[in-house]
Structure 1
Amino acid sequence: MSKLSLKLGIIFFVTLFCIESFMMFFLHVSLTNSRVEEELDSLQARGNSHRAILEQNFDLETLSHVALMESEARTDVVITDKDGKVLANSQFHPETEDYFTNLKKSIPYMGLILEDNWEREAFIATISPIQKDQTTIGYVFMFQNTESIHALMERLNKHFLIVGIVSGLVTIIIIIILSRKLAYPLIQMKEATLKLSKGDFTVALNTNGQDELSDLSNAIQKLSEELNHLRQERKDFLSSIAHELRTPLTFIKGYTDILYKRDLTEEAQHQYLAIIIEETNRLARLIRDLFDLAKMDENSFIVTKEPLDMTEFFANIEVKLSPAFQEKQIHFTVQCEERLTLMADSSRLEQIIMNLLNNALAYCAAGDTTTVTVKRLNQTLRIQIEDTGRGIPKIDLPFIFDRFYRVEKSRTRALGGSGIGLAIVKELVHAHGGEVTVHSVETKGTTFELLFKGVGTNDNNLINR
Structure 2
Amino acid sequence: MIINKITIKLGLWFFFVMLIIEVCLFFFLHTSMVKSRVEEELIALQARGNNHREVLEDSYNEDTLHHIAVMEWNADTEVIITDREKNIIISSSKLAEEEKEILYKKIESVPRNGKILENRWKSEKYISTVSPYAVNGQQKGYVFMFKSTDQVQGLISRLNHHFLVAAVITVTLLILTILFLTKSITTPLIQMKRATEKLSRGDFSVHLPNMGEDELGDLSRSITILAKDLKHLKEERSEFLSSISHELRTPLTYIKGYSDVARRRDLADEDRERYLGIIYEESEKLSNMIKDLFDLAKIDKNTFVIHQEKVQLCSYLHAICEKMLPAFKEKDMNLEINCNKNIHVLIDPMRFEQIFLNLFDNAIKYSDPYTKTSVFVKREKGDVLIEVRDEGRGIPKEDIPFIFERFYRVDKSRSRDFGGTGLGLSIVKELVEAHQGCIEVKSELGKGSAFFIQIEEMTE
CA apart distance, 1:341: 6.0
The separation in 1 between residues aligned to 2:392 and 2:169, in whole angstroms, is 84
Alignment pair present for 1:169 and 2:172: yes
Cα deviation, residue 4, structure 1: 2.5
Counterparts of residues 122-141 of structure 1 (less than 5 Å): 122-141=125-144
Map of 1:70 onto structure 2: 72
**1:80-229 to 2 correspondence within 5 Å?**
80-89=82-91, 90-229=93-232
Closer, same or farther in 2 for the Cα pair 1:411/1:455, shift >3 Å? farther
Distance 1:107 1:120 in 2: 24
Determine the structure 2 residue equivalent to 1:51: 53
2:102–2:118: 8 Å Cα contact kept in structure 1? no
Query: In 1, are the aligned partners of 2:337 and 2:375 still within 8 Å (CA)?
Result: yes
1:279-294 aligned within 5 A? 279-294=282-297
Bigger shift: 384-393 or 95-104?
95-104
Report if aligned partners of 1:379, 1:454 keep a CA contact under 8 Å in 2: yes
Counterpart amino acid of residue 396 in structure 1: D
Amino acid paired to 1:363: Y
Structure 1 length-normalised TM = 0.90
User: How far apart are the structure 2 equivalents of 1:92 and 1:359?
Assistant: 120
8 Å CA contact 1:76, 1:91 repeated in 2: no
Deviation at 1:130, TM superposition (A): 2.2
| Cα pair 1:310 1:340 within 8 Å, conserved | yes
Q: 1:99 to 1:315 in 2, by over 3 A?
A: closer
Matches within 5 A, 1:187-336: 187-260=190-263, 263-308=266-311, 313-314=316-317, 316-336=319-339
From the superposition, tell whether residues 377 and 27 of structure 1 become closer, same or farther in structure 2 (CA, over 3 Å): closer
Matches of 2:375 and 2:415 in 1, distance apart? 27
Give the % identical residues: 46
- Alpha-carbon deviation of 1:210? 1.7
Change (3 A) 1:318 1:109: closer
SS state of the match for residue 396, structure 1?
A: helix
CA pair 305-191 structure 1, distance change in 2 beyond 3 A: same
Aligned to 1:15: 17
Answer yes or no: is the 8 Å Cα contact 1:84–1:103 preserved in 2.
Answer: no
Residue of structure 2 equivalent to 1:462: none
- Which residue number corresponds to residue 388 of structure 2? 385
Alignment-derived partner of residue 420 in structure 2: 417
Give the whole-Å Cα distance in 1 for the aligned partners of 2:324 and 2:302.
31
**Shift in CA distance, 86/352, structure 1 to aligned 2, threshold 3 Å:** same
- Separation in 2 of the partners of 1:419 and 1:321? 21
Deviations 1:119-156 (A, max 9, x none): 12221001122211121112111111112211221222
TM-superposed CA distance for 1:314, in Å, is 4.8
Aligned length: 457
Instruction: Kindly indicate whether the alpha-carbon contact (under 8 Å) linking 2:387 and 2:451 is maintained by their aligned counterparts in 1.
Output: yes
TM-align CA RMSD = 2.6
Q: Which moved more, 1:333-342 or 1:196-205?
A: 333-342
Q: In the TM superposition, what is the alpha-carbon distance from 1:84 to its structure 2 partner?
A: 0.9
Deviates more, 1:188-197 or 1:254-263: 254-263
Residue 372 of structure 1 and its aligned partner are, at CA, apart by 3.4
Cα separation, partners in 2 of 1:445 and 1:108, compared to 1, 3 Å: same
* 1:47 partner letter: G
The residue number in structure 1 matching 2:5 is 3
> Which moves more between the two structures, 15-24 or 304-313?
304-313
Change (3 A) 1:314 1:184: closer
Q: 1:85 to 1:428 in 2, by over 3 A?
A: same
Is contact 1:337–1:375 with CA below 8 Å preserved after alignment? no
Deviation digits for residues 338-360 of structure 1 (CA, Å, limit 9, x no counterpart): 87665433322221111111101
Structure-2 change in CA distance of 1:128 and 1:397 (3 Å): same
Please tell me whether the aligned partners of residues 114 and 126 of structure 1 are also in contact (alpha carbons under 8 angstroms): yes
Instruction: Give the match's secondary structure for 2:418.
Output: coil
When normalised by structure 2's length, the TM-score is 0.91
Tell me if structure 1 keeps the 8 A contact 2:409–2:415. Answer: no
How many Å separate the matches in 1 of 2:383 and 2:83? 113
Aligned residue in 2 for 1:461: none
Tell me if structure 1 keeps the 8 A contact 2:435–2:455. Answer: yes
